[in-house]
Amino acid sequence: RKEVEQDPGPFNVPEGATVAFNCTYSNSASQSFFWYRQDCRKEPKLLMSVYSSGNEDGRFTAQLNRASQYISLLIRDSKLSDSATYLCVVNGGNFNKFYFGSGTKLNVKP
């Protein structure tokens, strides 16, 4: 079983839509969680950390469910510029080892 699993998509949505991605992780001892965004042929960039209480940054909301071992990312009012691959990342705990999901591709259409 993979450490981190994501639906690869693609998610094709119109501008203005709300879209949600989920990600599950296998290690219950995981301590920190992140969402990254990767544009084609570019490096991954940190989108937001995910906190136990949930957190929001503008149109983006991240949630963590430790009991079910999943994290989610909600994007409201999608923009064309949101088109990218979204990577779920989990820190393994004992050492600073990070586990990346394979990414969920989002295409926002006009």
Candidate residues 12, 15, 45, 77; the one interacting with another protein per rule CB under 8 A: 45
Candidate residues 46, 65, 79, 109; the one interacting with another protein per rule CB under 8 A: 46
Q: Is 87 one of the binding residues for another protein (CB under 8 A)?
A: yes
| Rg of the chain in Å (alpha carbons) | 13
The encoded tokens of residue 45 equal 């960039």
Candidate residues 59, 66, 79, 97; the one interacting with another protein per rule CB under 8 A: 97
Please report how close the Cβ of residue 45 comes to another protein at its closest, in angstroms: 7
Site map 13..42 versus another protein, x via CB under 8 A: ------------------xx-x------xx
> Measured at the alpha carbon of residue 65, what is the angle toward residues 20 and 15, in degrees to the nearest 5?
10
- Residues 6 or more apart in contact with residue 6 via CB below 8 angstroms: 21, 22, 23, 87, 88, 101, 102, 103, 104
